[in-house]
């Protein structure tokens, strides 16, 4: 069992709660900078949380006994980053005017 930081626990909990909301990022395959697949099944592998932690903190790929959950967590993080990118590009190019953000 790993001792996780408060920030990691907060982020992981957020991803779990929102995995059905943020579920599009345009990717079907997840790999680290070395090109290693991040979703690798093994009956004796790590939990999805530990596998995600190894990737998120050190860029390491590992074997996981919960590959579907790991895939969903990676998809959620990617989707959130994709939404942030779209929002910032919209602000930059003027397609999302500031006044639209303040109106309810």
What's the pLDDT at 87?
86
Token output for 61 = 């790929």
Higher-pLDDT residue of 92, 74: 74
What's the pLDDT at 100?
66
Q: Among 23-27, 72-76, 91-95, which is the least confidently predicted range?
A: 91-95
Question: Where exactly are the structural domains of the chain?
Answer: 6-102
Q: Read off the pLDDT band of 97 (50, 70, 90).
A: confident
Q: DSSP of 48-83, one letter per residue? A: HHHHHHHHHHH----EES-HHHHHHHHHHHHHHHHH
Please tell me the pTM assigned to this model.
Answer: 0.88
Q: Read off the pLDDT band of 103 (50, 70, 90).
A: low
């Amino acid at each position: 069992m790993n001792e996780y930081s408060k920030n990691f626990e907060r982020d992981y909990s957020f991803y779990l709660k929102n995995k059905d909301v943020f579920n599009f990022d345009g990717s079907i395959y997840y790999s680290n900078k070395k090109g290693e697949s991040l979703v690798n099944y093994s009956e004796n592998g790590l939990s999805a949380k530990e596998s995600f932690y190894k990737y998120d903190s050190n860029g390491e790929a590992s074997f996981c006994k919960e590959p579907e959950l790991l895939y969903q967590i990676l998809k959620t993080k990617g989707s959130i980053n994709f939404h942030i990118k779209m929002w910032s590009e919209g602000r930059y190019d003027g397609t999302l005017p500031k006044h639209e953000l303040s109106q309810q």
